[in-house]
Every structure is written in C-alpha cells, then in structure tokens.
Structure 1
C-alpha cells in the first residue's frame, strides 16, 4: 500500500533525492521549500512522470501557521500522512561562539531546531488522529550532532539538540506506533554550502580542517544512498526496531 511522505526543504539536493526515491517506489510525496522558483521547477519536472502522486507547497518550517497548513494539505490531498522527513536545514559560516552574531545564531537554530519541532508536533497530531494511527519521523542530522568541532557553534548546537529531540520523541511516542530516528550524515554534495557565500570564518574553518583527515570528493556520501536508507527505515518491520536510533552514516569520514 502506498505511503504518504512529507519531505521538508526538498526542492533540490538531498531532500529532492529522498522525495524522488519514494515517488519511484510508488508512494505519494509532499515537498515544501521556501523558494517558490525552485518549487515551480520541481513541479514542472515531475508533472509527466508522477502526476497525481505529489504535492508541492511553498512553506516556511519556522512559521507555525505555514507548517500547520502544510500538514493539513498533505492529509487533505492523500487522506493521511505516514512519514515526515525533517530535511530542511541551513549551515552557519563556521563562526565560533565568540564571533557569531545573535541574528545568525537565531536563524540557524530557528531553521535547524525550531523547524523540526514545529513539523514534528504538527505531524504527531495528524498521526494520532488518523486511522490507523501511527507514523515515522526521520530527522536529518549530521556528524556535527556528535562531534562538536566539525562546524561553527550554531550548526553544531542545532544538530546536537536534534538528537535529543529525536530520542525524546521516540521514548514517549514509540508505544503509540509513532517512531522517530535520525541519520547523522557526513559530507555530501548539496547546496548547504550556499551559506558560505555570506562569509566564512577562515580561522575556525582551518582549525576544523586541521583536526581531521581532509574531506575529498570520494568521501562524499551519495544522496541516493541516504534516500535508500530513509526508505529502509520506513519499512513497517524495521521502524519499530529503529525507533530512537541516531545512525552515523558518513562513509567513515571523519574516521571512527
């Protein structure tokens, strides 16, 4: 039976790869993004191959009203919601705590932590009221979730907090048939580095680089591999056992 999947920040990069994999498997997919042009481009691309099985929405995951509208639209279009993938995220500029502005700190925490909080809360309400009840939440974390010196202070703090949110959600809702897990990803070829266009704290960046084996393209985690892992975790026989898991998926970079 086809599932309904919601992927945030999915008009490009990893989110789009995850959404496309579920569509190719026959599931229904809802994606959102803050960029209307990117959303329109994806809608045009998918129209011929996946007509009737996807919904695109411009939405801001940091806005409570926008998030509720997104969840309601998904349930209205396809009758229920089965999976939420919290993919939307932004990078900092590798600023240490003494150098980052309050504005940038708030922005990174707002998208990377408040966003998953709002979408998770709204999705759980939908999971609980539908028949049959239940659902799966996959949070896209990072090696920075467990290694504090792999990014700037704001990004590291946001992704570490996402692990705590994952485990807390799994602990309370698991016996209700609502499962939550996180993928802690290594380096990937995505558009998250667009943040560096607004400035890079070079001293911090160089210290982080010097503390580990340099990242090279062959160490990049393929987007398609992450998408397959997301599909695996939503299998009804796998999700209960994976509940609460925070899985390092990093092509062994940085080395264990």
Structure 2
C-alpha cells in the first residue's frame, strides 16, 4: 500500500451537505485543512469541484439531491466504499424560503422548505446512524446546521423558522436514540454570516424587525463557523455538545433611562402596597426591557 493510501485510510472522514457554497464550502475546506477526508455533496457539480480544488486532503465529489432517498443511500454507500468508515456528518444543506406573511405563503413553498431543510437532514441522519451503529469502533458525530431562528424567528419567515425548530427536535431525538451506540449530535445555531443565503435574506441592506423597522445587523466571517465545525468534529464521541450558538456579541446602543426612576419609585411603593402595585411594576419592567435596541 502507498503512503498516500494509508494516510487516507487513517484520516477521519466527514460528509458535508450543501458543500458547493457558503457555510458548507467553508466548513469542508476547514475540515480538509485539519486533515480530514471530505465527501462533498450538493446539486451543483461545478461548484462542488471548485470546493474540492481548495481542499488539500482526499475528497469525494458526489453531486445530487439529498431530498431523494435513493441518492442519499448512494451517497453514504459510496463514502464507505472509498474510505471504509464515517466519522462526522454535517447536515448543512438548506434554503431560506419565501419572505411573506404567514397567510400569503403557498402550500408548495412550505413543502419545499420542509423537504430541503428537514426531510433531507432526516434522510442523511438515518443513513449515518446505520453506519455509526454498525461500524467498528462504533459511533460518530452529526452536526446539524440549525439557526438562531430556532429560538427567535424573524418576521415573515414562518416556513424557515418552522424548519429550524424541527431540526432542534431531530437533534434531540437522534441524541437520545444514538447515545448507546456512541452517536452524538450537535446543533450549531448561527447568527448573521456573510453568505449567499444571507444576501437572499437581504441582511446587507437591512433586516425587517418585529417593530417594522429595517436595521443592518452585525455579521460574522464564515471562517469562524468553519473553525467551530472543525472543533466540534474533533471532539471524542464521549463528549456531548448538544447546542452551540455562534454570532456577533450583542452590544446595547440605547436604553430609555427615564423609565428606571419610575421602576425605583414603584419598588418603594410595593413595600407598602405590594398586592396592588405588583402588576404595574411588572408592566413597567417590561417597558424598560422592551425599549432596549441592539
């Protein structure tokens, strides 16, 4: 056996979906630079080959549609055929979906978002689970690309928010079912990143806020996400990391301080008439915290 072939077999192997651009491409390259074999999949073959050219280690390019169960089976079978085992799956493929009010969303648009963002991740998770369960040594790690939208949805993005809440359920369920086989799952919830998808959401021009304003929000470099993926991938499977949030730190720009003296006065009054003033105090606190802009 050649030295290169032995090195390929000794290296760990990761499958990255949606590897043709954005976070998927950046993460695949970062894993490769860290010594991993990387299996690249997405629908656009030319872009996948471009990603592979930037990877210094062994790569396997398999273009296709991860919402297709037959293709997903082929993807994982081809990975095992070439590398012998699988260590990490990064479920990254996803689409933003329509930006419309809930009552204006077409049925077909909802199904498309759920199919790409949820069903594809489930299909890939299922195949990875089978491999992790049967291989020796047993186990492996799955990283699911969630979103801050799994915690705080944006206006007019119901299908996307629904899909990312579903990813949280997939993450927890897979962790529960896989723990006895050494299978661990991490959900990485990413804030605003400079990617093609961010451009579709219009983050560079300003994002719609719940109060109707459009504000330019802080963005992070996608390379920080790639570095985070490498860190998680390199953790042993007996170390669980259920969820990671990666985003720019929040810094307050304005607080309506005139509300603070009112709260202090009300707190003094509560000492004497607690039962009558508690609801008003709670309301004033809500006003104060609601007036913070970030």
**Normalization by structure 2: what TM-score?**
0.75
Higher relative contact order (CA 8 A, sep 6+): 1
Measured in 2, the distance between the counterparts of 1:19 and 1:144 equals 24
Change (3 A) 1:25 1:159: same
Bigger Rg over Cα: 2
Runs (5+) with no aligned partner, structure 2 = 1-9, 253-293
Deviation at 1:94, TM superposition (A): 1.8
Aligned to 2:45: 36
For the 8 Å contact 2:20–2:51, the answer to whether it is kept is yes
Deviation at 1:246, TM superposition (A): 2.0
Aligned to 1:232: 231
Deviations 1:151-182 (A, max 9, x none): 50000000011011101111121221000010
Deviation at 1:26, TM superposition (A): 1.1
Deviation at 1:46, TM superposition (A): 3.8
For the 8 Å contact 2:155–2:208, the answer to whether it is kept is no
Change (3 A) 1:169 1:121: same
Secondary structure of 1:98's counterpart equals helix
Map residues 159-178 of structure 1 onto 2, 5 A cutoff.
159-178=164-183
- Matched residue count: 240
Aligned to 2:222: 223
Deviation at 1:207, TM superposition (A): 4.4
Runs (5+) with no aligned partner, structure 1 = 198-204
- 1:206 equivalent to 2:204? Answer no
Measured in 2, the distance between the counterparts of 1:208 and 1:147 equals 11
**Normalization by structure 1: what TM-score?**
0.86
Deviation at 1:7, TM superposition (A): 0.4
- 1:182 equivalent to 2:187? Answer yes
Change (3 A) 1:103 1:132: same
Measured in 2, the distance between the counterparts of 1:155 and 1:184 equals 13
Match of 1:132 among 137, 146, 169: 137
Aligned to 1:249: 246
- 1:69 equivalent to 2:70? Answer no
Secondary structure of 1:221's counterpart equals coil
